[in-house]
Structure 1
Amino acid sequence: MSAPAAWAVSDPYADALRTGRGPLFLRRTDGWLLPLEVERWCADADAADRAVLDRCEGAVLDVGCGPGRLVAELAARGRTALGVDVSEAAVTRTLTVGGQALRRSVFDPLPGEGRWGTVLLMDGNIGIGGDPGTLLHRMHQLLRPGGLLIAETERPDVDERTEVQVVTPGREAVGDPFPWARIGTPALLRLADRAGWLTAAQWTAGERRFAALRPRTASSSAEPPKSTAVISSQRARKTSAD
């Protein structure tokens, strides 16, 4: 049985999802704070979200689904969709709002591997595991041939690997720091090109940035990038859903 991920056992994160409000931050080891948009995540899908979902093809896997606004919107449209998240609070809220979700790391075995029409990495989830190259390789394994990956990227052209903790003002951080990455669209497209992806589209919606990618070939047999930062922080305890 895997140890719980730092994100999954973070009380501030779980509390924020249960209440639907922040403030909540990712704090780097140097003290820099990245605000997390808890209220937006816990609201219904907005116009930018719905425009992303309009592009989705086939069955949709939402990686790091959080409180489930996207899978709930897809379910309301009659689409087949599943969310995965290492946070028990996130999965519980997703089920409550009408979506389907499993408490699982993206690096654990998942239903439908190699058959998903679209995989979503929204709200900065291209940063999961701290190594976007390794995460892109995992996306190859999940998508069907010719499938679509949609990632939400950072506004600046940043390309950062770091360690963070989830914190809220007035409370101590819970759990050890875990690897995270922040990457803008130009850096992601450069990385994706080297990793065997084609750029299908890129667009903005207000201050949010998105890129859509497709595997260059149908094969997912290429060797994954070497990384030691990725897997340990994104494992979660197995639940009855397994």
Structure 2
Amino acid sequence: MTAPAAVAAETGWAADPYAWAIARGSGPLFLRRTDGWLLPLEVERWCAPPDAADRTLLRRCRGPVLDIGCGPGRLVTAMAAAGTPVLGLDVSPAAVARTQRSGGAVLCRSVFDRLPAEGRWGTALLADGNVGIGGDPYALLRRVRRLLAPGGRLLAEAAPHEVDERVTVRVEDAHGRRGGDFPWARLGPSALAAAAGATGWAVEEEWTADGRRFLALAAAGLSGSLLQQPAVYARGGR
């Protein structure tokens, strides 16, 4: 998938069912595959403070941090409150608005758009299945690699079981409201490690917390000190 196609695909998350669920902080909400299979989305967890598994991610973050697909901003606001320079990205205006109300710095923008401080981020996050953004993990991983500073890392959440699929999905709620179709991907730990290796990443660490699976990836062949991000991204400043 080309980057423009990946950008267009992300608009599925701006569909009304997703916006309504994020605005009220609760589901039920699902991704529906074209064959009818449903994946429940954890809206309540996304809208709550970070849980124990989230905190294993937060402890591994070195600023400045770019949270890609930040949703309602629980990780952004937690890092900002701790004084870590952080910026969230999301294509959903409802998610961006909720993050802003919580005091987080956030842009309503795709990861494939031009971004501030490209090549200077210390950590990038792809939590909550966001390795699926755009339906092409290889394009996404290559893009994130270009965003990081020398010595930077990507912390990515894999599917909790072994899976490697590229699918067409749409967002639906329990009332029959639905968004448009868009491409998505799901990668378990082995598939994510393989995609990482094919796009210039090395797996530094794997861990499991509360049934969730995570990988820490380093850009192979890059080393050196992290560059500092302007302080405007600290503490939720905009």
The alignment's TM-score, normalised by the length of structure 1, stands at 0.87
Tell me, in whole angstroms, the C-alpha distance in 1 between the residues paired with 2:99 and 2:127. Answer: 15
In structure 1, stretches of 5+ residues that fail to align are: 220-242
Q: 1:139 aligns to what? A: 144
1:58 Cα deviation (Å)?
2.0
Residue 211 (structure 1) aligned with residue 215 (structure 2): yes
Residue 196 (structure 1) aligned with residue 200 (structure 2): yes
1:172 Cα deviation (Å)?
3.3
Q: 1:36 aligns to what? A: 41
SS at match of 2:215: strand
Using a 3 Å threshold, how does the CA distance of structure 1 residues 30 and 4 change in structure 2: closer, same or farther? closer
Tell me, in whole angstroms, the C-alpha distance in 2 between the residues paired with 1:14 and 1:78. Answer: 29
**1:182-233 CA distance string (max 9 Å, x none):** 00011111121122111110000011000000000239xxxxxxxxxxxxxx
In structure 2, stretches of 5+ residues that fail to align are: 1-6, 224-238
Q: 2:102 aligns to what? A: 97
| AA in 2 matched with 1:214 | A
Tell me, in whole angstroms, the C-alpha distance in 2 between the residues paired with 1:7 and 1:73. Answer: 27
Using a 3 Å threshold, how does the CA distance of structure 1 residues 188 and 102 change in structure 2: closer, same or farther? same
Q: Is 1:7–1:86's contact at 8 Å kept on the other side of the alignment?
A: no
Tell me, in whole angstroms, the C-alpha distance in 2 between the residues paired with 1:172 and 1:136. Answer: 32
Q: 2:61 aligns to what? A: 56
1:98 Cα deviation (Å)?
1.5
Q: 2:157 aligns to what? A: 152
User: How many corresponding residue pairs?
Assistant: 217
The alignment's TM-score, normalised by the length of structure 2, stands at 0.88
Tell me, in whole angstroms, the C-alpha distance in 1 between the residues paired with 2:74 and 2:121. Answer: 19
**1:50-81 CA distance string (max 9 Å, x none):** 11111011200000000000000000101100
Return structure 1 stretches of 4+ with deviation > 4 angstroms. 2-5
1:47 Cα deviation (Å)?
1.2
1:174 Cα deviation (Å)?
2.4
Instruction: Spell out the pairing of 1:1-242 with structure 2 (5 A cutoff).
Output: 5-175=10-180, 177-218=181-222
Q: Which moved more, 1:21-30 or 1:7-16?
A: 7-16
Aligned-residue Cα RMSD (Å) equals 1.5
Q: Is 1:8–1:88's contact at 8 Å kept on the other side of the alignment?
A: no
Identity %: 59
